Structure 1
C-alpha cells in the first residue's frame, strides 16, 4: 500500500538512520537506493535541505499532534546526482521513528526549468526587438527623403518621418494614426487609397499627385507594397512637384544654383512666417550648423524686434506684393546681432499662395561708428538752432532741446518705416499707442500724417 501511495518511502529511526527504503517500480530512473539503509538520512540531502529537515523534526517533537505538512527536499548521493522529492513526515509514537512518504518532483522541476529557459529566451528576443526598433526609428528619422508608412486596408498613417511631416506642413504626432487622405485637399479615403494601390501595382504609373492641405504644396507620392510579419503595408516616398510653368528646366537649375551659391541670405517663408527653406548664406548669418536647425521655426526668432518686424514685413508684402528695403537686425542662434537690409516678395504658385521670399543683405560694415556719419544724423538746421541757444540758455535747456530734435527724428523714422501704421510704430519704439499720439501732437506731426 505504501509503494502504491508514494514514489519513494523511507523509514527512519529516532536517530534519523535509514531503517528501510522503498522505491516505486514505475520510477526506474531513481535506480536502487538500498545503499541508504543503515546510514544517516542527512548524508543524502543537500545543505539547504538538511536545515529544513532538522527544523521540521523539531516541530514534530514539539507538537506530536500537528498535521503533516509537505516538505520539499533535494537528494544528493555519492555520485553528486540530485533529484527533488516532496515528502510528508509521519511520526511513529511507539518507536520514535519517522516515516517519509515522497513524490518525485523531477518532472515538475524539468517543467519549471523549461519555463525559466523560455522566459529568458523571450527576454532576449524582446531586447533584440527593441534594438531593431531603435535602429528603425533612427534610420527613418535621419533620412532626408520624406517617407510615410501607410496601412492599405484602413488608409491610416502608421508612421512618418520629420521630413515627410515638414513637406505636408504638419508634425509627426499630429499625422500619425490619422487617415492619409485627410492630409491632402479634395481627397477621400476610398478613392485616394485605390489610386495608391493602382500606382503600387502598376509598372506604368509613376506616382500620384496631390495637394497638401496644410501648405498647398503639390506633392508626388510613389507607393510600394511590402509584407512584414504577415501584414501588408505600403511605403510612400514623397517629393515636392515644381511648377513647370514658372521656368524652363535649364532656368530652374540655374535658379537653384543661384539660391545655393548666393552670398546674400535667401529665406523662403510660408504664409505664417515659418522658415520652409534657406540657403547657406542664411545659415552663416544665423550661426546654424544645418538646415534643420532653422527649418520650421518662425522668422521672428531671428529678428531683433521679433514679431513686430515679421508682422510689418508680411503685412506690407501681402498688400503690395513686394517690399524693396527694410532695415532690421538679424539675431543668430548664439545671440549675436547683425544689421541687415531685407527685401521681400510674395510668392504665388499655380494653385495656391507659396508664402514669402526674403533676400537679406548684411549691412554691418556700413554701420561702423563714424564721426561724420554720427553728426549727419541730425540735420544742419536743427543743429544750428541748438547752437544759437548757446549763451542764451542753460546747459540743461540745451540738452533738452537736442533730445527733442533726436526724439522727433526717431518718431518720424518709425512712422515712415511702418507706412503710417501707428500701432506698429508704437511697438517698434516701445511706447504705448496713447504715448505715441501725445508725442505726435507735441512735435506737430499728427496733422501732417492725417493729411497724408
Structure 2
C-alpha cells in the first residue's frame, strides 16, 4: 500500500524567521515587509536588481507613496485583499525612480502573515520583459514616422506632377505603355486620360516617327541617356521635342518622358495684331490685373497679381475667388462690388490685399464691369501703394450730395461718414425751409424748431444765404 503524501506545510516543518527571510529573498527579486497600514518596515532584494539606492530609500515610507500615480489603485487593492486574507493575485506596478529617471516595473503579490497583521509583498523584476516591448514600440513609432514622411513626400511629388506646366508621362520600360500622364500632357496630346494611359507610347505620334522614338528609349535603357528627338502628335498635330530618363520603382524600370512643344507650332490666338500687343502689355504690367466672372471667381490674371497673391501658377488662381484676397476680414470687398455693379466702374479704391499665406499690403483698385457678351465679367487693376490717410476734417470739403459722400467710403472712418450725412440732411432741411418761407429767417427758424441765432450759426456753417455782420 502506497504511503500517503503529507501536505507541504507538514513537510517543511517549523521554519524560523531567519530561514523564512532567506527563502523569500531567494525566490523574489524584491520583498517588502509592511505593517497592516502598508508602512514598509523592511526591504530585501536580489542581486539582479540594479536600483538598490532607490529601494533602500523605501524603508520607513508608505508602499503606496513609492509607486506612480496609475499604480496606486492596485496597491490599495492588494492591501485590502491581504487584510481580508483573500487569495493573493499578481499585479503589475511601476515604482518611480528619482535617480535614474526611469520607472521600475515590478510584479507583486501580497499576503498577510502572522498574528500582528504584518504583510509581505513578493515582487519580480519585469525590466527584462519591458525593455524588448519598449524597443518594439519605439521601432513601430519610427516605422510609422517614416511611413508618414514617405507619404508626405509622395504627396508633394504628386502635386508637382499634377500642376507642372510641362507635359510629363510615365512609361513602363518593359511594355512601353503609358502608366501616367499629367494634365499638361493630356492637353498637349488632345486626348482624354483614358485614351492615353494603357496605350503604347509610340501610338501618340505619327507612324513615321516611331523608329526615332524607339531608338531614344533603347539608348536610355542601355546607356542611361539619349539624344532628344522630334516627333509629331497624331491628334494634336503639334511637333514636340521628346526627352527621356530612366528610374526604378517597385523592382521595375520606368521612363520619365517630357514633351516640349516647339515654338514654331504654338498657335497664337485668332486676334488682330493690335489686340495681341494689348494682351502682351497686360501680361507685362507691373500692376496686378484680374478678370472675374459674375460670382467674382478668377478667370485669368497676369503674373503681377500671381506675385502679389503668393500663388504658384495662373491655373492655381483660377480655382479661387477674388474676395479671398481683398481685405477678407472686412467689408471693403462688399462695398467695392456693390459700387461696381451700380455704377459700372470704381476708381482708386483704397483697401488691403492679403496673400494666400497671410501677408498684407495696401493697394488701390480700379475696376470696370463688362456686362455685354456671353459671359458678363469684371476687370480689376490692383496697384501697390500706401492706403490714403484719413482726410483731416478741417481740410475736407463738406460734401454737397450723396454721390460726393459715397466717394468718401473707404477713405474716412464710419463715424465721420455719419457726421457728414447729418450735415447733408441739415443743410437740405435749412435750404428747403428758406425756400418755403421765401427767405424769412424768423419763420424758417420756427419751422425748423430752432432759435433764430442757432439758424444763423448753421447757415453760416453751411454757406447758405448772405448774412450781415
**For this structure pair, what is the TM-score category when the shorter chain's length is used for normalisation?**
0.3 to 0.5
- Normalising by structure 1, what TM-score? 0.47
- Normalising by structure 2, what TM-score? 0.45
